[in-house]
Amino acid sequence: MKLYVIIISLLVFQFSSAQDTPEALTPKTWSLEACITYALENNITVKDAALNTNIAAVAYGQAKSSRLPNLFGSASQNFSSGNTIDPITSDYVTDQIHSTNVGINTTVSLFQGNQLNNQIKQNKILLDQSVFQEEVEKNNIVLNILETYLQTLYSKENISIAENNLTASEKEVIRAKARLDAGTIALSDYTEAQSQKATNKYNLISAKNDYQHYIIALKQLLELSPMESIEVEAIDENMDVTHLELHKDEVYNKALGFLPEIQASKLNIAANETELDIAKGGFLPVLALSGSVGSGYTSIHDNAFSDQFNVNFNQKLGLSLTIPIFNRNQTKAAVQKASINIEKAELQKRTTEKEVYKKVETAYQNAVSAQEQVLASEASKIAAEQSYKLAQKKYELGGLSTTDLVISQNTFTNAQQNYLQAKYLNILYHQLLQFYQGNDIKL
C-alpha cells in the first residue's frame, strides 16, 4: 500500500513539474516595435554606450571644476635633537625640540595659455560626441533587430511550406502503396515516393531548426532569458513596399543630415582642433595665485600651546609666473601631433560619408532588384503551383510517374521559397531606406 502511494505521489509531482516548465507556458508574442523598444532599454551594448556617455559627462564636469581654486590642509608633529633650526622661530639652537605645524594652502590658476577654457570646450565636444556614439549603437541594435526579426518570420513561413510538402508526400506514399498493390506501378516508383517523404521530413526538421536559431538570436538581442519562450508577430500583408519614393541621392543627402555617425565625425574634427589650441597654449606663460594660513608650536619656548598658536599665526599670499623657455620641444611636438590628428579626423569623416553612401546605394539597388524579384517570383510560384496541381491529378489517374511528380513538387517548393525570400528582402530594403530617411521602422 505504501509503495502504491509513493508511485502515485511521484506521478503527481512529475505532472505538476511538467506544467511549470517554460515549454508548458504560452509563448509571448513580440511585435517588431515591441522588440525595438525593449532592446533599446535592455541591450547590453546600448547600456555600455550609455555608460560611456556618463563617463564623458563626468569628465566634462571635472574640466569645469579645474577653474576653481584647490584647498589643502596640513598638519605635522616633529622631534629633533642636537644642532637644528627651530621650525617656528627659525633660531639656531642645540636642544631637543618638539614642534607642531598646521596650515591651509590654496592655489588658483589665473592664466594658463587659455588651456583650461579650451579643455572645458573639448570635453563638452567629447560629451556631445559620446551622445551621438550612443545613438549609433542604438541604430545598430535597431537594424539588427529588424534583420533578425524578418529572418525569423521567413524561417517561420518556411516551416509552413515544409509541413505542406510533408503532408502532400505522405498522401503520395499512400497512393503509391495502393497502386503498387494493384500492380500499376513498379517498386521503384513506390520507393521514390518514400524517399521524397523522407526528404521532406528532413527539410521540415531543418526549417524548424533554422527558426529556433533565429529565435535564439532575437532573444540575445533582447537580453531575454534562454528559458523564456517567445513568438514573433506576423507582418501586415497589405503593407505597401512596391515603390520607391526618392532617388538614392536624395536619400543619401537626408542620411547625411541626421545620422549620428556623421555628426560624431564632425565633432571629432572639432575636438582635435580644440586639442591644437590646447597644445599651442603651452607656448604661453602661466600665472597662478597662491595663499596659505598656518600656525605652530615649539617646545623650546615656555608659552602655552594655545598662546603660541595665537602668536605664531601667519598668512601668505603670492603670485607666481612661469615662462616657458625650452621644454625639449615637448610643446612643439604636441602641436604637430594635434595638426596631424585634425587631418586624420577629416579623412575619417570622409570615410564615414563614403560608408554611408555605400550603405544607402546598396539598400536602394537591392530594393529596386527585390521589387522586380517579388513580381517575377510570384508569377513563377503561381505557374509552379498550377503545374504541381496538374501533376498531382495526372499521378492520381496513373498518367504520371512518381519521379515526374517529385520533380514537379520540388519545382513548386523552390518557387515558394524564392518568392518568400524575395518578399522579405523587399521588406528589409524598404525599411532600410525608410531608416536612412529618418523615418521610423515599423511593420
- Looking at per-residue confidence, does 98 or 341 come out higher? 341
Q: What is the pLDDT of residue 105?
A: 96
Is 90 exceeded by the pLDDT of residue 220?
yes
Long-range contacts of 348-352 (CB under 8 A, 24+ apart): 348/265, 348/268, 349/262, 349/265, 349/266, 349/268, 349/269, 352/261, 352/262, 352/265
Q: If pLDDT is split at 50, 70 and 90, which confidence band does 25 have?
A: low
CB atoms inside a 10 Å sphere around CB 310: 10
pTM for the whole structure: 0.85
Is 80 exceeded by the pLDDT of residue 99?
yes
- Specify the 3-state DSSP secondary structure of 79: strand
- CATH numbers and ranges of domains, the chain: 79-110+285-323 (no CATH), 113-284+328-443 (1.20.1600.10)
Q: Report how far residue 331's alpha carbon sits from residue 333's, in angstroms, rounded to the nearest whole number.
A: 5
At which residue does the C-alpha cell 532575437 appear? 218
| H-only helix segments in 183-312 | 187-222, 248-258, 260-280, 305-311
Q: Residues of the chain with pLDDT > 90: what percent?
A: 75
Q: Residues of the chain with pLDDT > 70: what percent?
A: 92
| 333, 321 contact by CB (below 8 A) | no
Query: Per-residue b/e over 34-45, b at no fewer than 16 CB within 10 Å?
Result: ebbebbbeebee
Is 80 exceeded by the pLDDT of residue 443?
no
- Looking at per-residue confidence, does 59 or 235 come out higher? 59
Q: What is the pLDDT of residue 242?
A: 59
141-189 tens-digit pLDDT: 999 999 999 999 999 999 999 999 999 999 999 989 988 998 888 899 8
**Which segment of 86-95, 179-188, 210-219, 315-324 scores lowest on mean pLDDT?**
86-95
Over residues 391-416, the mean pLDDT reads 91
Q: If pLDDT is split at 50, 70 and 90, which confidence band does 93 have?
A: confident
272-325 tens-digit pLDDT: 999 999 999 999 999 999 999 999 888 877 778 788 888 889 999 999 999 999
At which residue does the C-alpha cell 521589387 appear? 371
* Sign of the dihedral defined by the CA atoms of residues 30, 32, 38, 43, in that order: positive
- Average pLDDT in the chain: 90
